[in-house]
Amino acid sequence: MIVAAALPLVAEHGAAVTTSQIARAAGIGEGTIFRVFADKDELLDACLAEAMNPGHVLRELASISLDEPLADRLTQAAEALRAHLGRMGTIIGSLHGTGHRRERGSGDRRAPGGREASMKATHEAIVELIEPDRAALRLEPGRVASVFLGMLFTRPLPASGDLGSSPGELVDVLLHGTLGTPQSGTPQSGASRSDTPGSVA
């Protein structure tokens, strides 16, 4: 309850947030905070761990109906994952920007096994969303999930001026590629079949 009340304040104020502000938001006395946490730094560490906890987004992924079309399933997954990354980035950036540094060994409570276990669980959740359409795919679901996550977590080059693809655009490229619809008829004279737009080697 304390961490949940603190998170919006940490996002806004970073390490400058006061325990009295957090206590008011949680509807408790300030002394109660220090019966749970040794000091404000420990509370901020708990907020950081909670922001990085993949449990919330994994539950969102698990709630996506497998009866929906694959493109819709993956678009919802992309939206959920981007929202999770956004929340996490806001908390980390706010704390880092105001001078809070997480102590090594302060307790990685975001997931058993840390980042590797978190990524494995996320990958498995995406595979589960893809699995019903295995027969229609050129690659097995695990490979498709890896490509999907790689595309999702890739940031556009700043110099390109590209703000990044929307979840729907990303999923469309993943499932249908970037080539236009092949023209009907035979290839132009001098062009091999493999040179024809839309052909797949």
Q: What is the pLDDT of residues 133-150, one digit of tens each?
A: 999 999 999 999 999 999
Q: Give the sign of the dihedral formed by CA 156, CA 161, CA 165, CA 169.
A: negative
pLDDT band at residue 7, thresholds of 50, 70 and 90?
A: very high
d(CA 2, CA 22): 7
d(CA 38, CA 19): 12
- The CATH T-level fold of domain 2-178 is Tetracycline Repressor; domain 2 (1.10.357)
d(CA 201, CA 169): 24
> Is the pLDDT reported for residue 194 higher than 60?
no
pTM: 0.74
